[in-house]
C-alpha cells in the first residue's frame, strides 16, 4: 500500500468527491486553499539544502582540524568567529527575502559552527571540563537561536542536543539517585517552543526525548519496580488526558494521535517490565521502608486523573466517554494486580490486556499506529509467555487454550451486543 502524508490523503479525497459530484468545485477549492494555508511544503530541494549544510559543517571542522597546528591562536579564533557571523548574516539575508529553506539551512549551519566553535575554543585555551557541559552550552545556544528566529531545524537540533546531554550523564551501573530533574526544565522549553511553532518534527523529537528520560529513570533509580508502576500510572493518566483532548479541544493542535502512540509504547514497555519482574518473594510492599513507602503513596495520585476524567466524561457526555472509562478501569486493574503478591497466570494474562485495549482503541479512533502497536505487542506478549512457560508445557498449552476461548467468547458477545445495522468497529 502506498504511504501518503495526511495532506495528500485529504487532497485525493477532495478530488474524488469533486469528480463524483459529491462536492461542488468552488467548495472543493476553498477547502484546498484552507488546507494549504500557513503550511510549509517539504520538498527534495529542502533535503538537498539540509544535506549541503551538514556537509559544510563537517568540511569546516575537518579543514580546521587538519590545519590546526599551523595556525596561530588569533587566526583560529578569528576563523571560528568569522564563519559563525557569516552563517548568521546569510541566514538573515535569506529570511528577509522569504527563502524559507535557505533560511532554515543557514540557521542550522550557524548553530553547527557555534557548537564546533565551543569545542575548538576549549582546545585553544586548554579549558578543562566535562564534555556534557559543552554539549549543554551548544544546546542552549541553539534553543535561543530557534526562539529568536522561529527556526524549526535549529529547534530540532536543540532538542536532540539536550537529550544527548542527558544521555551523557547516565550511569546505569551505579543506579544513582539523581534523575537529572533540570533536564525537564530544558525539555519543557523545547516542547513549549515546538507547540508554539506547531512543528510536528520538533514535537516528535520532544516526545522521543521524554521517553528517553523516563526509560533512563527506570534504569538508574534504586527501586525500579516501584518506579515502573509510577510510570505506568502516570502514562494511563496522560492517555486519558489525550483522549479528553481528542473529544473536542485539541489542545495539542492535532498532535494528540502521535503522542497517544508514544504513550501506548511506554505503557506496553511498563507492562512487560512489571510482568517479568513481578515476584512474590522480592516484590517490595508498601511500608517496607520510608523511601519506598513514600513512592507507593504517590501511585493513587498519579492514577487519579484518569478516574476523574472518566467521571467527567460520563457526566458531560463527551464523545470518547467509553474510551476514557476503559482507560481508567485498565489503569486501576493493572495497579491493583501488580501491587498484590504474584498470582500464577494472572500477571501473564494481564500482559495481554493492555495490547488488546490499545488495538481496540486504534480501531475506534481509526489510528493505524495504535492498531500496529497493539497487535505487535500482543504477539510479543504471547512469545514472552511461551518463553517463560507457565509452570510447564502443559500449563502453557492450557493458558493459551483458555486465552483463546476467552478472546473468541468476547468477540461473540460483542457482536451479539452490537445494534442491528451497525458496521464492524
pLDDT in tens, 24-56: 778 877 777 776 665 555 555 666 766 777 777
- Residue 381 pLDDT exceeds 70: yes
pLDDT in tens, 219-260: 777 777 777 888 888 899 999 999 998 887 788 877 888 899
pLDDT at 424: 42
Q: Which residue has the higher pLDDT, 161 or 59?
A: 161
Cell 481496540: give the residue.
360
Q: For the whole model, what pTM was predicted? A: 0.71
- What is the pLDDT averaged over residues 393-400? 57
Q: How far apart are CA 279 and CA 207, in angstroms?
A: 32
- What is the pLDDT averaged over residues 373-394? 71
- Residue 159 pLDDT exceeds 90: yes
Q: Do 342 and 278 form a contact (C-beta atoms < 8 A)?
A: yes
pLDDT at 162: 93
Give the count of beta carbons closer than 10 Å to the beta carbon of residue 117: 22
Q: How far apart are CA 102 and CA 99, in angstroms?
A: 5
| CA distance readout (Å), 57 to 53, 110, 146, 148, 169 | 6, 9, 18, 22, 26
Return the ∠ at Cα 139 (arms to 138 and 144), rounded to 5°: 100
Handedness of CA 295, 301, 304, 309 (dihedral sign): negative
Q: How far apart are CA 210 and CA 202, in angstroms?
A: 12
pLDDT at 422: 44
- Residue 189 pLDDT exceeds 90: yes
Q: Do 108 and 101 form a contact (C-beta atoms < 8 A)?
A: no
Helix, coil or strand: residue 8: helix
Nearest to 217 by CA among 228, 209, 206: 228
Q: How far apart are CA 278 and CA 27, in angstroms?
A: 58
Q: Which range, 129-133, 169-173, 185-189, is most confident? A: 185-189
pLDDT category, 302, cuts 50, 70, 90? confident
Amino acid at each position: 500500500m502506498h504511504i501518503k502524508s495526511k495532506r495528500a490523503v485529504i487532497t485525493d479525497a477532495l478530488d474524488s468527491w469533486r469528480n463524483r459530484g459529491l462536492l461542488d468545485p468552488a467548495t472543493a477549492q476553498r477547502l484546498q486553499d484552507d488546507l494549504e494555508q500557513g503550511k510549509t511544503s517539504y520538498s527534495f530541494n529542502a533535503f538537498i539544502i539540509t544535506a549541503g549544510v551538514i556537509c559544510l559543517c563537517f568540511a569546516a571542522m575537518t579543514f580546521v582540524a587538519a590545519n590546526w597546528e599551523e595556525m596561530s591562536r588569533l587566526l583560529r579564533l578569528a576563523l571560528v568567529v568569522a564563519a559563525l557571523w557569516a552563517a548568521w548574516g546569510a541566514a538573515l539575508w535569506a529570511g528577509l527575502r522569504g527563502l524559507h529553506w535557505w533560511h532554515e539551512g543557514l540557521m542550522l549551519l550557524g548553530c553547527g559552527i557555534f557548537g564546533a566553535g565551543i569545542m575548538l575554543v576549549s582546545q585553544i585555551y586548554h579549558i578543562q571540563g566535562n564534555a556534557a557541559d559543552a554539549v549543554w552550552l551548544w544546546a542552549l545556544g541553539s534553543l535561543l537561536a530557534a526562539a529568536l528566529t522561529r527556526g524549526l531545524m535549529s529547534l530540532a537540533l536543540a532538542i536532540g542536543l539536550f537529550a544527548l546531554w542527558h544521555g551523557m550523564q547516565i550511569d546505569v551501573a551505579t543506579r544513582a539517585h539523581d534523575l537529572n530533574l533540570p533536564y525537564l526544565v530544558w525539555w519543557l522549553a523545547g516542547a513549549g517552543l515546538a507547540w508554539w511553532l506547531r512543528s510536528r518534527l520538533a514535537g516528535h523529537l520532544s516526545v522521543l526525548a521524554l521517553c528517553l528520560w523516563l526509560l533512563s529513570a527506570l534504569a538508574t533509580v534504586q527501586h525500579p519496580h516501584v518506579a515502573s508502576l509510577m510510570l505506568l500510572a502516570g502514562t494511563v493518566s496522560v492517555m486519558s488526558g489525550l483522549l479528553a483532548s481528542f473529544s473536542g479541544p485539541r489542545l495539542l493542535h492535532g498532535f494528540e494521535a502521535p503522542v497517544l502512540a508514544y504513550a501506548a509504547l511506554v505503557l506496553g514497555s511498563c507492562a512487560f517490565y512489571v510482568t517479568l519482574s513481578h515476584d512474590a518473594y522480592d516484590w517490595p510492599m508498601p511500608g517496607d521502608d520510608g523511601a519506598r513507602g513514600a513512592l507507593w503513596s504517590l501511585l493513587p495520585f498519579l492514577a487519579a486523573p484518569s478516574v476523574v476524567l472518566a467521571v467527567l466524561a460520563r457526566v458531560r457526555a463527551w464523545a470518547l466517554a467509553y474510551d476514557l472509562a476503559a482507560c481508567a478501569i485498565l489503569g486501576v486493574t493493572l495497579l491493583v494486580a501488580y501491587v498484590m503478591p504474584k498470582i500464577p497466570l494472572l500477571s501473564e494474562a494481564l500482559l495481554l490486556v493492555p495490547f488488546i485495549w490499545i488495538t481496540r482503541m486504534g480501531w475506534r479512533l481509526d489510528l493505524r499506529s495504535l492498531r500496529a502497536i497493539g497487535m505487535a505487542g500482543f504477539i510479543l506478549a504471547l512469545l514472552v509467555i511461551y518463553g517463560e512457560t507457565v509452570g510447564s508445557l502443559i500449563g502453557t498449552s492450557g493458558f493459551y487454550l483458555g486465552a483463546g476461548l476467552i478472546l473468541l467468547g468476547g468477540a461473540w458477545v460483542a457482536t451479539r451486543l452490537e445494534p442491528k445495522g451497525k458496521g464492524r468497529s
